[in-house]
A = this chain, B = another copy of it.
Amino acid sequence: MLTSLKRFLIGRPLKSNEAGEHKLNKLKALAILSSDALSSVAYGTEQILLVLVTFGTVAFWYSLPIAIGVLVLLLALILSYRQIIFSYPHGGGAYVVSKENLGVNYGLVAGGSLLVDYILTVAVSVSAGTDAITSAFPALHTHNVAIAVVLVILITILNLRGLTESASILAYPVYLFVVALIIMIGVGLYHIATGGVPASAHTPVGTPVAGLTLFLLLRAFASGCSALTGVEAISNAIPNFKEPQPNNAAKTLIMMGSLLAVLFTGVTFLAYWYGIAPKVEETVVSQIAAETFGRNYMYYFIQGTTALILVLAANTGYSAFPLLAYNLAADKFMPRMYTMRGDRLGYSNGIITLGIGSIILIVAFRGQTENLIPLYAVGVFIPFTLSQTGMILKWLREKPKGWILKLTANLIGALITLTVLIIFFVTKFTQVWSVLIFLPLIILLFHRIHRHYKDVGDQLRLESEHPPLAIEGNVIIVPVAGMTRVVENSLNYARTLSDQVIAVYVAFDRQEERRFEEKWEQWQPDIRLVTLHSQYRSIIQPLTKFIDTAQHKAKESNYWVTVLIPQFITKKNWHNILHNQSSLLIRAYLLYKRNVVVTTVPYRFKK
């Protein structure tokens, strides 16, 4: 039944060699990998204005130079990641780039902060999308957490079904959002060009603002940089692309960068020209849309696609997290299970971990995940900085043709991202300090896991010098609870394995003990019976004591001890509670605590 539910939810299992069919073409990849980055447009401009508004509307013209700064950073990131894609065609990403060029620990810092970041992405985006939905339908507002959790579960199931199938469903909202925003920007610019918007709505560029320091401008710039989260997704996901992978990925990256630049510039410019101030109850994009179209169907179209793309931004996390976890697991820093492909060829364990992690965050913060945004931005800029620094070292070391140009791009990128990072820590320390706690903990955990796998590898490796001691023979111990067909069956089996079979009976009183011994003598005269007396009504204690002694003796002559446990298999599951499950307990105890070989002989009841 569980199996058919699984089939229904995620589809039939796929053969390993069907993997190629699930690769993404450029257009689908654009939709699936850039929803995170593009959705940032919905709040990037607003973040800048929120800092500037403290100086009054007169400071709003600064959003234009700040936006230019963000665009420069975007350009640097795109160029830098384009270089990463070609240098690491098997899926680079900050983890691989940092590890190879800066060393393992830097790689782990990048990898660890991205892993946490993807979980934050999902939680934050889905919560934001849910807010957008429940703003439209206020009756649903009390169910925010439940709706967000259901959405995460839906996205998780879609991703378990496999990449391309998710892409087909998830691509349209991204396209619609892009189309909707381009129409809005076009119509807005047309209004402005035809003089439909009075110039008095905004203060002219260059108006002096009292008290605005460079520090605060940088803070506004850092806030605006939250629009850039998500641009790294493509470089992590190169293995998902159709061949030729690096070229397709690079082209997709350029497309995404161009779209992001157009949308971000357009929204920021319209906001400036319309003289829009950030409000608590209405987003900047909503105000622009209302200003441009009035509150007609186009307005609702833009609001709807914005809500959708915010929810879908979560999907970027679902593409990137499992691949990053795969890379870390392949390097033995994470549990091996993250390297296994599921029925539909996705790395199911990573997908499920991400889903569960973000549901925990959503429930823990009761859907109010806005405070996590700075944390989330820091979590992106740490790997940004590390991977750019890694690329600088790579160029310095390898010095390929035209390396100075390449190095310059990465150097500029590294400097800007490092600056942004410093600004974040200086201006928003109260919101981001926790990174300094959990990141070291994660790195520590990575190392503990790595150490364990290394230890296991050492212990598993065959040694030709010290071959294990030969086994001379076996002593078989059969705990018996009575004289029944189950026991008879087990004894017959034991006889075929060894001549040394000992039956052990644990008696709770002396009388019973003697009676049992007498009857045994008649029933199985050729098998030695040992009766143990248990004063405390426990079977395991006297039994293990006996087994310990037997094992000690057996070891002297290189004999092995095998404990053979008769177990009956009931016909119906509920019957199990009618029988003491002591055989399970004994088996687990002997295996895990005593290192004894345990054989279970099933005896199936027919009714």
Contacts and interface: CB of A to CB of B under 8 A. Distances in A.
A461 interface: yes
A573 to B, nearest CB: 9
A549 interface: no
Interface string A482-512: 1111101100110111100000000011000
A520 B573 CA distance: 41
A286 to B, nearest CB: 42
A460 B484 contact: yes
A217 to B, nearest CB: 48
A606 B459 contact: yes
B474 A489 contact: no
Contacts of A449: 578
A7 interface: no
Interface string A425-456: 00000000000000000000000010011011
B578 A453 contact: yes
Nearest to A509: B16
Given A16-B508, A468-B492, A599-B562, A567 B591 contact: yes
A575 interface: yes
Nearest to A343: B536
A348 to B, nearest CB: 10
A325 to B, nearest CB: 14
Contact of A535 (B17, B453, B535, B597): B17
A596 interface: yes
Interface-central residue, A14, A460, A592, A607, by most chain B CB under 10 Å: A460
Interface stretch (A52-60, A204-212, A332-340): A332-340
Contact of A497 (B337, B460, B474): B474
A545 interface: no
Interface residues of A, number: 73
Contact of A485 (B461, B497, B536, B595): B461
A279 interface: no
Contacts of A455: 605, 607
A213 interface: no
Interface string A463-484: 1000010111110000000111
A493 B459 contact: no
A587 to B, nearest CB: 8
Interface of A is mostly: mixed
Contacts of A538: 13
Interface string A580-607: 1000000100011001111111101111
A460 B485 contact: yes
A587 B598 CA distance: 12
A264 to B, nearest CB: 43
A16 B456 CA distance: 46
A299 B15 CA distance: 80
Contacts of A592: 569, 602
Given A337-B580, A536-B13, A605-B459, A496 B471 contact: yes
Interface string A21-47: 000000000000000000000000000
B591 A596 contact: no
A468 B337 CA distance: 44
B484 A496 contact: no
A537 interface: yes
A341 interface: yes
A177 interface: no
B605 A596 contact: no
Given A13-B538, A340-B537, A462-B485, 11 more contacts: A16-B509, A336-B579, A456-B568, A460-B482, A460-B485, A461-B484, A473-B496, A493-B560, A497-B498, A591-B600, A592-B602
9 contacts: A16-B509, A16-B535, A452-B575, A461-B484, A462-B483, A471-B493, A474-B496, A562-B599, A569-B595
Closest 10 CB pairs of A and B: A460-B484, A599-B599, A15-B535, A455-B607, A335-B578, A471-B496, A13-B536, A597-B601, A595-B604, A598-B600
